[in-house]
Amino acid sequence: MEWIRNIALWLWNNMEFRFVLDAAWKLALAVLLSGIIGFEREHSHRPAGFRTHILVAVGSALVMLTSVYLAKKYAGELSLDVTRMSAQVVSGIGFLGAGTILREGFSVKGLTTAASLWAVSCIGIAIGAGFVTGAVVATLVIYLTLNSLKKVIVRGNAGKALFIEVKDLAEQVPRISSLIKRTGTVLHSMEILYDNESKLRKKKDTATIKALIFPKTDDALKVIITTLQNDENVVDVYID
């Protein structure tokens, strides 16, 4: 068994091997932390989800690890700035974030996902640089911001998600918008839901509209619901 011990000692004293082990667990950590954020985005049906966030974080971590590796390998031979490559990641992630900003229905969406991609790239850089504590704390803060804080803000402002199944989408959208505003209710956003997102969608020839509203009073909300229920072009109304 002495030869096994000698091999183990040789490997442990080999700086190249120790760096590979260090890089391996850091890349695995990047997958875990970015996967947490990516899962939340995937669950919210955002353009960039689980796999995209993991790829961004792992790539960013690898860039930082490569910078550190080159700095150690050519120490004394070349003057290398370990922050140069990571700086390009932070600035270059913008093109990917821009691709997640889309116009869905009647609202522009994807800004939050673009920001989460940029944040995930920073987490990857932090892990690659060895700042694990900062990466873990940042992941927790980002996840809470994306998930829990969104619910707190909506509840704090008495926001209501109004789902409306209509027959004639083009005609009903302006009518519904006008109705909501006439009651003094703030219309935050309006969008068309996909089939797998819709809680209604009872018929194939209908479309479901989701409107996030902030009614000033309960009476205003009752007026909106009652008016919609009495509309012959409205199949069903559901409020969350």
Q: What is the average pLDDT across 212-223?
A: 84
pLDDT of 30 above 90: yes
Residue 43 pLDDT > 60: yes
Choice among 12-21, 53-62, 85-94, 182-191 with the minimum mean pLDDT:
12-21
Q: Sketch out the chain's domains with CATH numbers.
A: 2-153 (no CATH), 157-239 (3.30.70.260)
Residue 4 pLDDT level (bands cut at 50, 70, 90): low
The per-residue pLDDT for 198 is 47
Q: Could you report the per-residue pLDDT of 155-214, keeping only the tens digit for each?
A: 555 578 888 888 877 788 888 888 888 888 888 777 777 554 444 445 567 788 888 888
Q: What is the pLDDT of residue 1?
A: 63
96 vs 55: which has the higher pLDDT? 55
Helices (H), 147-230: 148-156, 169-182, 218-229
With pLDDT > 90 as the criterion, what percentage of the chain qualifies? 19
Range with top average pLDDT, 15-19, 104-108, 124-128, 168-172? 124-128
Spatial neighbors of 167 by CB under 8 A, at least 6 apart, are 205, 206, 233, 234, 235
- Which residue type, as a one-letter code, is found at position 121? S
- Residue 47 banded pLDDT, cuts 50, 70, 90: low
Orientation of helix 15-43 relative to helix 132-146, angle to 10°: 10
pLDDT at 115: 85
More reliable by pLDDT, 125 or 101:
125
Query: Which ranges of 14-49 would DSSP assign to H, the alpha helix?
Result: 15-43
> Per-residue confidence at 126, pLDDT binned at 50, 70, 90?
very high
pLDDT at 195: 55
- The answer to whether the pTM exceeds 0.75 is no
The C-alpha R_g of the chain, in whole angstroms, comes to: 25
Kindly state the average pLDDT of the residues 73-83.
75
